């Protein structure tokens, strides 16, 4: 019997595939494996065709083309390697807190740039809104709303904003990322009781050490859809972005760079720079310009 399904878990050469008729533990068909490492062609989020072998086992015959991938550059023995984390994600939730820890705007920008490059829609989720005046929080984050990034204001502690966020996850494959301590686990539990613990357990296995098993998993949402968690947030910053292409991933720079006097303007010290002029005129936020300069010239 042939079935179509979704890869919901990968672990040491095996994949769990959910299909309308059930869930199967699968290996890749030999022919597919010949040319690649399994991790290069198969990831959670992949749509696959399988042949059902037993009630619990199957064989993956075919992997569908991906709409997009969330990947990162991972150091390996033979050099840097692009590692697919999630195939076909609909969106990435960047979770930050409005206090404890205070939001790190440059980190937000760094993630947004990477996602822009990979053409993955981003949502910014601002947690712990119970700790700060709403006006103060919006002053910081309305910048991102003005750039057309959706921003969700929530409190895992009080439940404020949680039903709205739940709606945004429904029937989508969402990936959650964010620095330590912002309340991801609490947020997942608020969205769906028990979910935080499940996610934490899998990421604990994966980030325990260099040589432990890499487990990737999609967690089903009761409202329909799936959620994946990104372990090792720091390495996610490693995207293959050339300095010259960086300005192309700042949305608000896009329509302006062609007005710079020099074609290869770095928007730093050059005369006739349209970007610096826009910063002076208030059309580009100074914080975003600062992020650009730091990313471009590698200062921390």
Ligand X SMILES: Nc1nc2c(ncn2[C@@H]2O[C@H](COP(=O)(O)OP(=O)(O)OP(=O)(O)O)[C@@H](O)[C@H]2O)c(=O)[nH]1
Can you say which residues are annotated as belonging to the binding site?
A: 127-130, 178-186, 260, 265, 267, 273
Residue with tokens 């192309």: 248
Got the DSSP string for 50-71? EEE-SSSEEEEEEEPPPS-EEE
Which of 52, 227, 265, 284 binds Zn ion (CB under 5 A)? It is 265
Pick the closer one to ligand X by CB: 128 or 216. Answer: 128
Pick the closer one to Zn ion by CB: 8 or 273. Answer: 273
Stretch of 24-32, 90-98, 174-182, 266-274 lying at the interface with Zn ion (CB under 5 A): 266-274
Binding site for ligand X (CB under 6 A): 127-128, 130-131, 155-157, 180-186
**Distance between CA atoms of 151 and 91, rounded to whole angstroms?**
13
Q: Least distance to ligand X from the beta carbon of 93, Å?
A: 12
Q: Least distance to ligand X from the beta carbon of 233, Å?
A: 8
> Which contiguous run of DSSP H or E holds residue 86?
strand 79-87
Which of 7, 115, 260, 284 binds Zn ion (CB under 5 A)? It is 260
Q: Least distance to ligand X from the beta carbon of 104, Å?
A: 14
Stretch of 64-72, 100-108, 217-225, 268-276 lying at the interface with Zn ion (CB under 5 A): 268-276
Instruction: Please choose, from the candidates 221, 176, 232, 216, the residue with its C-alpha nearest in 3D space to the C-alpha of residue 194.
Output: 221
Q: Least distance to ligand X from the beta carbon of 82, Å?
A: 25
**Distance between CA atoms of 142 and 156, rounded to whole angstroms?**
21
**Distance between CA atoms of 1 and 24, rounded to whole angstroms?**
12
86 contacts 46 by C-beta, under 8 angstroms: no
Residue 27 contact partner, candidates Zn ion, ligand X, none, CB within 5 to 8 A by sort of partner:
none
Residue 163: CB atoms within 10 A of its CB come to 12
């Amino acid at each position: 019997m042939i079935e179509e399904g979704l890869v919901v878990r990968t672990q040491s050469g095996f994949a769990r595939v959910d299909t309308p008729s059930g869930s199967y533990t699968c290996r890749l068909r030999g022919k597919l494996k010949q040319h690649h490492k399994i991790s290069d062609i198969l990831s959670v989020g992949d749509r696959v065709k399988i042949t059902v072998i037993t009630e619990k086992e199957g064989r993956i015959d075919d992997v569908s083309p991906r709409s997009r991938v969330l990947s990162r550059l991972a150091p390996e023995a033979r050099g840097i390697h692009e590692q697919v984390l999630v195939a076909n994600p609909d969106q990435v939730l960047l979770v930050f807190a409005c206090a404890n820890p205070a939001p790190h705007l440059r980190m937000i920008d760094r993630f947004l740039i990477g996602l822009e490059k990979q053409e993955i829609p981003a949502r910014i989720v601002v947690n712990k809104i119970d700790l700060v005046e709403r006006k103060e929080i919006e002053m910081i984050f309305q910048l991102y709303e003005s750039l057309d990034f959706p921003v969700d204001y929530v409190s895992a502690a009080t439940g404020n904003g949680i039903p709205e966020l739940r709606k945004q996850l429904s029937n989508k494959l969402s990936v959650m990322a964010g620095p330590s301590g912002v309340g991801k686990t609490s947020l997942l539990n608020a969205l769906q009781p028990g979910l935080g613990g499940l996610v934490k357990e899998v990421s604990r296995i994966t980030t325990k050490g260099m040589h432990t098993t890499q487990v990737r998993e999609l967690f089903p949402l009761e409202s329909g859809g799936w959620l994946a968690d990104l372990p090792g947030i720091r390495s996610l910053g490693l995207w293959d972005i050339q300095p010259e292409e960086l300005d192309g991933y700042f949305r608000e720079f896009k329509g302006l760079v062609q007005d710079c006097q020099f074609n290869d303007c770095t928007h730093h010290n050059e005369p006739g720079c349209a970007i610096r002029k826009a910063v002076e005129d208030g059309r580009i936020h100074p914080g975003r310009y600062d992020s650009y300069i730091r990313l471009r010239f590698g200062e921390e």
